[in-house]
Structure 1
Amino acid sequence: QFGRRIAVKFFTLILSLVCLSAETPLRPVSTYSIVALDEETGQLGVAVQSHWFSVGTVVPWAKAGVGAVATQSIAEPSYGPKGLALMEQGIPADEALQSLLAKDLGAAVRQIAMVDAQGNVGAHTGSRCISYASHSTGKNYSVQANIMAKSTVPAAMIQAFENTTGNLAERMLAALDAAEAEGGDLRGRQSAAMLVVSGEPTGDSWKDRIVDLAVADHQNPLLELRRLLRISQAYRHAQSGDEYMEQNEMEKALQEYSAAAKYYPDNPELPFWSAVTLAQTGELQKALPIFKDAFSRNDNLRELVPRIVKAGFLTDDQNVLQQILAQ
């Protein structure tokens, strides 16, 4: 009889593991995260920090004009694409979540949150999620956490998110910082990620992604995520500048390149393109000191000048070129 009891327990364990997806991590993705909708812009986003390698490959999911999903604890990644598919059909986030939970034999170990483009929110913390584990929802958002050092982590996230100004990415990052300041993950920190998509889909998914950042393994993942967010904002402005340059809208290009340089002053290439735009619009004297500074920090940019002339991005006026290259 003792042997039978051992056998029954063994097969029960095997069955419980089979009930979980083959792709599901067998250790908890101890995590705090936020899903949110920005009412003004329609942007949808997810931000997450975890003591788990490359959390960005598991937890965050979002689709422009549809919704955002965070799936964690003993994470089942399929909640992401399946939840988005249901919301795209017009099913509210809370109903979509309940529909998926009803079919999941591992629901007790899941922690999931969803928000749709209309601001409907659904959240679930399974009874077997490791404490402290809970979620809290508000207007257009949900915060959720498991294996936290303190039960007060979600409340700290809410306060930070609701009282921080700025765009959706900045507000979500403030919520993560608040969670960490409140004690964060009991086991420590390792990775972080953020995904923000536009409110209106363009039909091109790569254009819909406003922020798509991941820190796979780092001693201070939130600090690194903040650094990457600042750089990504710089390059988003730079990309807009490139598009305006292509359309020969120099004034708008200059505005975008100048904004890019402010976000990422450590990179001399960004002010270099501001100088190029100034030179193209007849403001050579304003451009020259910017060229000089850029060349002093990266002399290869000097070699780039004749190449962009050949590509048509800078005048071929020899007097102008001589003054630029003399810097």
Structure 2
Amino acid sequence: MRSLLLLSLLAAPSLAAEPVPAPRRPVHTYSIVARDPQTGELGVAVQSHWFSVGAVVPWAEAGVGAVATQSFVDPSYGKLGLELMKAGRGAPEALAGLLAADSASQVRQVGMVDASGRVAAHTGDKCITAAGHVVGEGFSVQANMMEKDTVWPAMAKAYRETKGDLAERMLAALEAAEAQGGDIRGKQSAAIIVVSGQPTGRSWVDRKFDLRVEDHPVPLKELRRLVTLQRAYNLMNEGDLAIERKDTEAALKAYSAAEALAPGNAEMVFWHAVSLINVGKVDDALPLLQKTYKLDPRWKELLKRLPKSGLLPEDPKLMNRLLGTAK
């Protein structure tokens, strides 16, 4: 029934639900929605001088699309936009239907991309200047209340020219916006979502990045730090899956790459060591364990608790050796 209702909204927008009143203040500033043509991944990233921008602006669903809804924001553009695209409407058609049903469309700014890479954007003529957008191949950048009108062209240029995965390219677009002066009010929060191109039926697996900086003096710098840390944890997960496949070489390669991205992260070092122990590489695990003990001696206590949970062998001599108490 919900899909039929949404489809009828497109067919006869005058019969849509009652319009949502516009908020009294413009909430959000610059964002990007994009689809990676190589992987099919879909993403949205945003920065604003507003608390917790990630709670409202970015929307994405694997195999469906991504939406950024901002200016005098109406969050229903995110939810309904995804539902319309899931029902088979392309991003341009979905956005056109939602705008036609919105009596306050002149103050909205929205970017959408669907799973086929079709893109649509709207900047209402009453969005606070400087405001505008650029639609490119598989992406859209949009900004309002900017210090100057060079922001969104700089975002588009950075996205097109940056090498790397979708998260990296979207971060580059945000950083290019800030380099042009960004939001005339300053900066406060940021967020990024990247989902897989094909849904697995497990949304927690489909979300490659889902990070928010709620309140920070330099939110983009903090967001980049979190993206790097997420990459490291993604590699740890790859290592764990390789262990399950009994592919020790691939697992150790993934663990080492994770530690290189997040040096000094005791969590990664500890579980890398545990994995080494379980494949018989105890000598390689010992220096890693010593490293964690120096960071916090409580890792020793945790190690002693693992055999009961089946995460290490029940072997007192081995445990003494791992704890550095063997005689």
Q: In 1, Cα distance between the equivalents of 2:234 and 2:24?
A: 38
TM-score by length of 1: 0.89
Matched, 1:46 2:64: no
* Aligned counterpart, 2:217: 219
* Aligned counterpart, 2:187: 189
What secondary structure sits across from 2:27 in the alignment? coil
* 1:166-185 → structure 2 map (5 Å cutoff): 166-185=164-183
Q: In 2, Cα distance between the equivalents of 1:47 and 1:221?
A: 12
1:245-279: CA deviation from partner (whole Å, max 9, x where unpaired): 45655444333332322222131120111112222
Amino acid at match of 2:200: T
Which residue, out of 286, 289, 292, partners 2:287? Answer: 289
Matched, 1:200 2:198: yes
| TM-fit CA distance, 1:244 | 4.4
8 Å CA contact 1:241, 1:254 repeated in 2: yes
* 1:52-131 → structure 2 map (5 Å cutoff): 52-131=50-129
| Count of equivalent residues | 308
* 1:243-262 → structure 2 map (5 Å cutoff): 243-245=241-243, 249-262=247-260
User: Which deviates more, 226-235 or 41-50?
Assistant: 226-235
Q: In 2, Cα distance between the equivalents of 1:108 and 1:240?
A: 46
| TM-fit CA distance, 1:238 | 2.3
Q: In 2, Cα distance between the equivalents of 1:127 and 1:171?
A: 29
| TM-fit CA distance, 1:322 | 2.1
User: Which deviates more, 183-192 or 157-166?
Assistant: 157-166
Amino acid at match of 2:260: K
1:32-85: CA deviation from partner (whole Å, max 9, x where unpaired): 000000011111000000111111111100110010000000011100111111
8 Å CA contact 1:250, 1:277 repeated in 2: no
Amino acid at match of 2:118: N
Amino acid at match of 2:20: S
Amino acid at match of 2:161: N
RMSD of aligned Cα (Å): 1.7
* Aligned counterpart, 1:145: 143
What secondary structure sits across from 1:224 in the alignment? helix
* Aligned counterpart, 1:309: 307
* Aligned counterpart, 1:4: none
Assess, with a 3 A threshold, how the Cα gap between structure 1 residues 64 and 115 changes in structure 2: closer, same or farther: same
8 Å CA contact 1:240, 1:253 repeated in 2: yes
| TM-fit CA distance, 1:239 | 3.0
* Aligned counterpart, 1:35: 33
1:77-97: CA deviation from partner (whole Å, max 9, x where unpaired): 100111111111221111111
TM-score by length of 2: 0.89
1:116-146: CA deviation from partner (whole Å, max 9, x where unpaired): 0111000000000011000001110000000
* Aligned counterpart, 1:21: 20
Q: In 1, Cα distance between the equivalents of 2:187 and 2:73?
A: 17
Q: In 2, Cα distance between the equivalents of 1:54 and 1:153?
A: 22
Amino acid at match of 2:136: G
In the alignment, structure 1 segments of 5+ residues that lack a partner are 1-18
Assess, with a 3 A threshold, how the Cα gap between structure 1 residues 235 and 184 changes in structure 2: closer, same or farther: same
Q: In 1, Cα distance between the equivalents of 2:242 and 2:302?
A: 20
